[in-house]
């Protein structure tokens, strides 16, 4: 937990050091490789784009490579972690991160692949109920998926209803989302939002959106790429129908790492639901009989297509084991403290340099996680490039936003102080 000096935060190196000393998770930073810039640890604030590598990851991968070398195909049954059921490791490791039951979780494929697989089941449009409601400026891959799914069923872009911010605003009001669902409810097949919008960092009110979708007679799902490992989730309790996520952002599981899926048990147990079928979703007791008729597993595993990508999954397990050691609640608690300090430092900077940066992420705590998105009012790309030259690794999003996200496992209060100190120096020379 952080320390307060004179009952308030201070934008000082002394305050940052005292807060780091009081942080019970501070030792976990040593379990990650921190990139080096200018001969010292970078201020790495882009875990929202690609999380850092756990130091134990290489050992986990080498173990699988050694088992492959030593056992060949026999590794499916005789590896230290037998490959034939390797994917079964993950539901127990993801329940606290998702708020889901183990039977509702499966790790497989990549994010957009999983999104298409889920829409194959849950987007079953009719002539009268065919619309997909989503946020405007959803991540482009999601938008491509939504429209292509509609087109596969013979509909055009009019099937996609995007909820936009009000004029002069950058984030969505929950009442506006609910109103759009109400207006289009009788024609809506699926409501599908991000858990956290990638551009603004806004956390959507998933319980209210889910309830409104169900009242309208629609399914409700989420792309949790920027939510999982970032904000607390209670997917089962919220009665969410389906969700998917990647693992390479806050879950630190490597570029293009294996992704995950949640399907509520009421759907997962329904083996009559249509889906794209593959042999790894087939009844385990019958799988290797190689029979023709598909018999889906009555859990989220029933949506699997292929056997486990073990090397990628080893990277995922290395990271999730660190999450388990640190404790998910502890990580979220520290991330919130880091984020509070980042707000404080940025507001101090805004006072020093008015008219340079506007923060478009909601400050209300339920509406944001780790990420803060800075709208650069002038010279944004130049400032971003200069920050990197001075040791800050952040994230640029066109046309004019710098995203930063301190995460609980490896960022420090000193990182945030250094960032504030560096950006003040950069702005003073603009």
pLDDT digits (tens, 9 = 90+) for 313-340: 999 999 999 999 999 999 999 999 999 9
Locate tokens 């909820």: which residue? 163
> Is there a contact between 316 and 91 (Cβ–Cβ < 8 Å)?
no
For position 2, what pLDDT does the model report?
A: 37
Q: Has residue 215 got a pLDDT over 90?
A: yes
For position 1, what pLDDT does the model report?
A: 35
Q: Has residue 13 got a pLDDT over 60?
A: yes
Predicted confidence band of residue 8 (pLDDT cuts 50, 70, 90): confident
H-helix segments, 232-357: 265-268, 310-326, 328-352
Instruction: Give mean pLDDT, residues 282-310.
Output: 95
- The alpha carbon dihedral of 380, 385, 389, 391 has a sign of positive
pLDDT cut 70: percent of the chain above it: 98
- The alpha carbon dihedral of 410, 411, 414, 415 has a sign of positive
Predicted confidence band of residue 3 (pLDDT cuts 50, 70, 90): very low
> Is there a contact between 253 and 323 (Cβ–Cβ < 8 Å)?
no
Q: How far apart are CA 250 and CA 230, in angstroms?
A: 6
Instruction: Give mean pLDDT, residues 124-138.
Output: 97
Locate tokens 């996200």: which residue? 405
pLDDT digits (tens, 9 = 90+) for 223-273: 999 999 999 999 999 999 999 999 999 999 999 999 999 999 999 999 999
Q: How many residues are present in the chain? A: 430
How many beta carbons lie within 10 A of that of residue 113, not counting itself?
16
Q: Has residue 210 got a pLDDT over 70?
A: yes
Q: Is the peptide bond before 399 cis (omega within 30 degrees of 0)?
A: yes
Predicted confidence band of residue 6 (pLDDT cuts 50, 70, 90): very low
Predicted confidence band of residue 102 (pLDDT cuts 50, 70, 90): very high
Predicted confidence band of residue 165 (pLDDT cuts 50, 70, 90): very high
Instruction: Give mean pLDDT, residues 264-292.
Output: 95
Task: Give 322-390 as a DSSP string.
Answer: HHHHH-HHHHHHHHHHHHHHHHHHHHHHHHHSTTSEEE-S--SGGGB-S-EEEEESSSHHHHHHHHHHT
Q: Has residue 7 got a pLDDT over 80?
A: no
Q: How far apart are CA 104 and CA 108, in angstroms?
A: 13
- State pTM to two decimals: 0.95
Q: Of 8 and 236, which is predicted with more confidence?
A: 236
Predicted confidence band of residue 5 (pLDDT cuts 50, 70, 90): very low
Locate tokens 């499966």: which residue? 106
- What is the pLDDT of the chain when averaged over all its residues? 96
pLDDT cut 90: percent of the chain above it: 97
Predicted confidence band of residue 4 (pLDDT cuts 50, 70, 90): very low
For position 430, what pLDDT does the model report?
A: 77
H-helix segments, 99-201: 111-122, 140-152, 174-184
Helix (H, G, I), strand (E, B) or coil at 265: helix
Helix (H, G, I), strand (E, B) or coil at 10: coil
> Is there a contact between 146 and 160 (Cβ–Cβ < 8 Å)?
yes
Q: Has residue 388 got a pLDDT over 60?
A: yes
pLDDT digits (tens, 9 = 90+) for 50-100: 999 999 999 999 999 999 999 999 999 999 999 999 999 999 999 999 999
Q: How far apart are CA 40 and CA 31, in angstroms?
A: 17
Q: Has residue 299 got a pLDDT over 90?
A: yes
Which residues does residue 376 pair with via DSSP β-bridges, in sequence order? 357
Predicted confidence band of residue 342 (pLDDT cuts 50, 70, 90): very high
Q: How far apart are CA 141 and CA 338, in angstroms?
A: 30
H-helix segments, 125-205: 140-152, 174-184
């Amino acid at each position: 937990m952080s320390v307060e000096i004179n009952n308030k935060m201070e934008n000082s190196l002394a305050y940052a050091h005292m807060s780091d000393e009081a942080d019970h998770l501070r030792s976990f930073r040593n379990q990650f490789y921190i990139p080096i810039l200018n001969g010292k640890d970078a201020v790495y604030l882009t875990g929202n784009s690609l999380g850092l590598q756990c130091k134990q990851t290489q050992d986990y991968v080498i173990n699988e490579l050694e088992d492959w070398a030593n056992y060949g195909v026999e590794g499916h049954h005789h590896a230290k972690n037998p490959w034939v059921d390797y994917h079964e490791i993950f539901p127990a490791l993801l329940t606290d991160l998702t708020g889901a039951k183990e039977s509702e979780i499966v790790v497989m494929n990549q994010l957009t692949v999983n999104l298409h697989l889920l829409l194959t089941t849950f987007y079953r449009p009719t002539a009268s109920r065919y619309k997909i409601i989503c946020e405007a400026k959803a991540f482009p891959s999601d938008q491509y998926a939504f429209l292509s799914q509609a087109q596969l069923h013979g509909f055009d872009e009019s099937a996609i209803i995007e909820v936009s911010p009000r004029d002069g605003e950058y984030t969505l009001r929950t009442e506006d989302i609910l109103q759009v669902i109400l207006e289009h409810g009788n024609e809506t097949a699926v409501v599908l939002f991000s858990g956290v919008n990638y551009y603004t960092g806004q956390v959507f009110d998933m319980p209210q959106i889910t309830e409104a979708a169900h009242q309208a007679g629609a399914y409700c799902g989420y792309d949790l790429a920027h939510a999982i490992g970032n904000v607390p989730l209670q997917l089962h309790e919220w009665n969410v129908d389906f969700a998917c996520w990647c693992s390479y952002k806050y879950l630190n599981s490597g570029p293009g790492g294996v992704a995950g899926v949640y399907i509520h048990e009421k759907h997962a147990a329904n083996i009559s639901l249509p889906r794209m079928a593959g042999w790894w979703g087939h009844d385990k007791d019958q799988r290797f009989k190689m029979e023709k008729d598909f018999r889906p597993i009555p859990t989220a595993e029933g949506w699997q297509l292929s056997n486990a990508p073990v090397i990628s999954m080893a990277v995922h397990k290395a990271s999730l084991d660190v999450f388990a050691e640190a404790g998910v609640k502890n990580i979220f608690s520290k991330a919130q403290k880091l984020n509070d300090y980042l707000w404080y430092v940025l507001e101090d900077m805004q006072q020093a340099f008015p008219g340079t940066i506007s923060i478009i992420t909601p400050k209300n705590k339920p509406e944001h996680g780790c990420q803060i998105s800075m709208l650069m009012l002038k010279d944004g790309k130049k400032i971003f490039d200069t920050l990197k030259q001075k040791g800050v690794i952040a994230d640029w999003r066109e046309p004019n936003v710098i995203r930063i996200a301190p995460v609980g496992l490896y960022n420090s209060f000193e990182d945030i102080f250094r960032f504030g100190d560096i950006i003040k120096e950069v702005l003073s020379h603009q």
